[in-house]
Amino acid sequence: MRLLGNIIWILLGGLLSAIGWWFMGIVWCITVVGIPVGIQCFKLSSISLNPFGKEIVNDGGTGSFLLNILWLIFSGWELALGNAIIGCLFCITIVGIPFGKQFFKIAKVALMPFGARVVREHYL
């Protein structure tokens, strides 16, 4: 089911989203100061490419908290709000609910990416 969800996700715009995040990661990594932000963009690119079967684990400390505050000030809240709105739109229909849940997951990472890890879900 995860494979089918990821294939449909990629066909309906996940690939474009991942390419956009990947491109922004490259742009941020051009400068030495922007490398931490670029790494977060690559993290968002990986979860935007195939979100089904992955979960977010927060391991943030003080440094992550401070970087997340800067992220929120400059762009984090807009990115998270956009993903949350798209998630709400997908949840209007029964068929779109699984995709809406994935947009909420991406919104959570887009809101505060520093200190968050993307790991595979383990099923019994």
The pLDDT tens digits along the chain (124 residues) read 788 989 999 988 888 888 989 998 999 899 899 899 999 999 999 999 989 988 888 887 788 888 899 888 888 888 889 889 999 999 999 999 999 999 999 999 999 999 888 888 876 5
Comparing CA positions, the residue from 117, 124, 122, 121 lying closest to residue 42 is 117
Find where tokens 């993290």 sit. Answer: 43
Query: For the whole model, what pTM was predicted?
Result: 0.84
Q: Rounded CA gap, 56 and 52, in Å?
A: 12
Q: Rounded CA gap, 10 and 23, in Å?
A: 17
Q: Rounded CA gap, 4 and 10, in Å?
A: 10
Q: Rounded CA gap, 52 and 102, in Å?
A: 7
Q: Rounded CA gap, 107 and 104, in Å?
A: 5
